[in-house]
């Protein structure tokens, strides 16, 4: 049988078609599995969080098994690697919910993680899209089963149902005038959300927690004052739940404590912010509010009706009066901070900070110093400076009440 003459053009076309076909297979049918790049465990007295970070979005299934209590998570499209094999070493003996953990290749394309539990738990498992420095994340949150054992979970569920839009009930057991002034302290960030990180690696979440604990001790030493904290350990608390905690307490003041950061390392100084009715008072204030409000995206929160409470909080006469009181409190605190450190701005700025949106509680956000500034980072790391920052905020609170400020509950 005679062969057709050699045609180099035809061969090139066939070769190109074959290459295209193989490339299509590699992209679709033979796609590389997602790579697990990091595993982090955040135990706390409130809940334990496990975060798996991957190069691609993860598909998963999970279920619980009793007697003994276990949580099983199957992750599809991944291969067992060193990150997953190390999960057992990540579990602390002090973890209130997890006894041990292990991972294995359950099937050719599925890894199974088994958590041996210390008690029955209520899991929340969800994924997060890439944000900031994080790639795709699979989050496993372990809460106590009974809501009464876990106020945070109860607040989260009330938040989803819209119950937090209602004003809190006032206490009937105590005369309003008989109880001390209640102050909710809010150390920013926590857990999966480190906040700003200084040139030497100092994390905002660690510094502000230390300052808040110092401030709490000072407030509690006063006969007519009592401080509470939205978090007193390295745990992530959603912004809306921070506000909800203050409202559930019927707090008289809300003070959120942070450390500022900017791309230019020469930026320095302390600032105080309050909520704005109409918009930010400066571009910098608007930028800062945006970065702070992104904390839920970075920390990771599963809220079915996102920002339900915050979006439906209407500005009315009560809100306007609250903002006016917030500005008075902020001015008093800013004055004391100016005695300790140079001020970044010499007046209280305003913007739409989500964490300041309680309609009936005077609320401020204190940026103690710029952690992105090498000199101020060193000061923030110093225990004596942390003490002085706490003293300055406390002095501002006392000055606010010395001016005859009315309590929110009156």
**How large a percentage of the chain has pLDDT more than 70?**
78
Average pLDDT across the chain, whole number: 84
- Which comes out higher in pLDDT, residue 76 or 287? 76
Q: What is the pLDDT of residue 177?
A: 65
Q: Over 90: is that where the pLDDT of 369 sits?
A: yes
Q: Over 60: is that where the pLDDT of 164 sits?
A: no
Contact 185, 228 (CB under 8 A): yes
Q: What is the pLDDT of residue 154?
A: 61
Q: Could you give the count of Cα atoms lying within 13 Å of 33 in the half-sphere of its Cβ?
A: 15
Question: Residue 179 — very low, low, confident or very high, per pLDDT cuts 50/70/90?
Answer: confident
Question: Residue 165 — very low, low, confident or very high, per pLDDT cuts 50/70/90?
Answer: very low
- Which comes out higher in pLDDT, residue 30 or 144? 144
Q: Over 90: is that where the pLDDT of 48 sits?
A: yes
Question: Residue 10 — very low, low, confident or very high, per pLDDT cuts 50/70/90?
Answer: very low
* Alpha carbon separation from 289 to 141, 350, 352 (Å, rounded): 27, 9, 6
Q: Tokens 């005038």, residue?
A: 177
Query: Among the listed ranges 128-132, 150-154, 328-332, which one has the minimum average pLDDT value?
Result: 150-154
Q: What is the pLDDT of residue 6?
A: 40
Paired residues of 40 in beta bridges: 51
Q: What is the pLDDT of residues 267-324, one digit of tens each?
A: 999 999 999 877 777 777 776 777 777 777 778 776 554 444 444 444 455 678 899 9
- The arrangement of strands across the sheet holding 98-107 comes to 59-65, 70-76, 110-117, 98-107
Q: What is the pLDDT of residue 295?
A: 78
Q: What is the pLDDT of residue 71?
A: 98
Q: What is the pLDDT of residue 147?
A: 53
Q: What is the pLDDT of residue 54?
A: 97
Span 327-333, mean pLDDT?
A: 97
Span 368-396, mean pLDDT?
A: 98
Q: How far apart are CA 123 and CA 345, in angstroms?
A: 45
Q: What is the pLDDT of residue 351?
A: 85
Query: Among the listed ranges 39-43, 343-347, 385-389, 403-407, which one has the minimum average pLDDT value?
Result: 403-407
- Which comes out higher in pLDDT, residue 293 or 130? 130
Query: Among the listed ranges 120-124, 131-135, 317-321, which one has the minimum average pLDDT value?
Result: 317-321
Q: What is the pLDDT of residues 227-261, one digit of tens each?
A: 999 999 999 999 989 999 999 999 999 999 999 99
Q: Based on the number of CB atoms within 10 Å of its own CB, is 174 exposed (0-12), middle (13-18) or buried (19 or more)? A: exposed
Q: What is the pLDDT of residue 300?
A: 76
Q: What is the pLDDT of residue 406?
A: 65
Contact 385, 322 (CB under 8 A): no
Q: What is the pLDDT of residue 287?
A: 67
Q: Over 80: is that where the pLDDT of 167 sits?
A: no
Span 162-175, mean pLDDT?
A: 45
Q: How far is CA 213 from the centre of its chain?
A: 18
Question: Residue 32 — very low, low, confident or very high, per pLDDT cuts 50/70/90?
Answer: low
Q: What is the pLDDT of residue 176?
A: 60
- Reading phi first (left if > 0) and then psi (alpha if -120 to 50, else beta), residue 195 is in left
Q: Over 60: is that where the pLDDT of 224 sits?
A: yes
* β-pairing verdict for 48-54 and 59-65: unpaired
Instruction: Map out the domains of the chain with their CATH numbers.
Output: 36-147 (2.60.40.3500), 175-402 (3.40.630.40)
Q: Tokens 């140079």, residue?
A: 342
Q: How many helices (H) and strands (E) does the chain have?
A: 11, 14
Q: What is the pLDDT of residue 407?
A: 64
Cis amide linkage into residue 359, ω under 30° from 0: no
């Amino acid at each position: 049988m005679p062969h057709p003459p050699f045609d180099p053009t035809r061969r090139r076309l066939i070769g190109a078609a074959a290459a295209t076909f193989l490339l299509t297979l590699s992209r679709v049918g033979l796609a590389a599995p997602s790579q697990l790049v990091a595993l982090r465990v955040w135990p706390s007295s409130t809940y334990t969080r496990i975060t798996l970070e991957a190069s691609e979005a993860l598909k998963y299934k999970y279920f619980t098994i009793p007697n003994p209590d276990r949580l099983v998570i199957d992750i599809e499209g991944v291969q067992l690697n060193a990150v997953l094999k190390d999960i057992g070493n990540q579990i602390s003996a002090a973890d209130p919910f997890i006894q041990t953990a292990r991972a294995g290749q359950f099937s050719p394309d599925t890894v199974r993680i088994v958590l041996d539990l210390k008690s029955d738990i209520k899991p929340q498992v969800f994924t997060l899209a890439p944000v900031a420095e994080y790639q795709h994340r699979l989050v496993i949150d372990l809460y106590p089963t009974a809501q009464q054992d876990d106020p945070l979970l109860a607040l989260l569920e009330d938040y989803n149902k819209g119950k937090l839009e209602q004003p809190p009930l006032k206490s009937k057991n105590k005369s309003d005038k008989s109880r001390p002034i209640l102050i909710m302290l809010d150390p920013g960030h926590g857990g999966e959300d480190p906040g700003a990180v200084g040139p030497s690696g100092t994390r905002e979440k660690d510094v502000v927690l230390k300052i808040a604990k110092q401030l709490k001790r000072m407030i509690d030493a006063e006969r007519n004052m009592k401080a509470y904290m939205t978090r007193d350990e390295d745990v992530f608390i959603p912004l809306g739940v921070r506000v909800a905690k203050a409202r559930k307490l019927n707090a008289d003041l809300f003070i959120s404590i942070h450390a500022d950061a900017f791309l230019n390392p020469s930026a320095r100084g302390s600032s105080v912010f309050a909520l704005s009715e109409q918009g930010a008072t400066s571009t910098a204030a608007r930028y800062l509010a945006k970065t702070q409000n992104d904390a839920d995206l970075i920390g990771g929160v599963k809220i079915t009706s996102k920002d339900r409470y915050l979006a439906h909080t209407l500005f009315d006469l009560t809100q306007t009066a609250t903002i006016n009181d917030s500005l008075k409190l902020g001015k008093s605190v800013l004055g004391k901070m100016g005695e300790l450190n140079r001020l970044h701005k010499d007046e209280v700025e305003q913007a739409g900070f989500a964490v300041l949106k309680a309609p009936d509680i005077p609320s401020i956000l204190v940026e103690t110093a710029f952690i992105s500034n090498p000199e101020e980072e060193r000061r923030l790391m110093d225990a004596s400076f942390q003490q002085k920052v706490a003293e300055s905020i406390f002095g501002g609170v006392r000055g606010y009440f010395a001016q005859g400020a009315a309590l929110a509950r009156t």
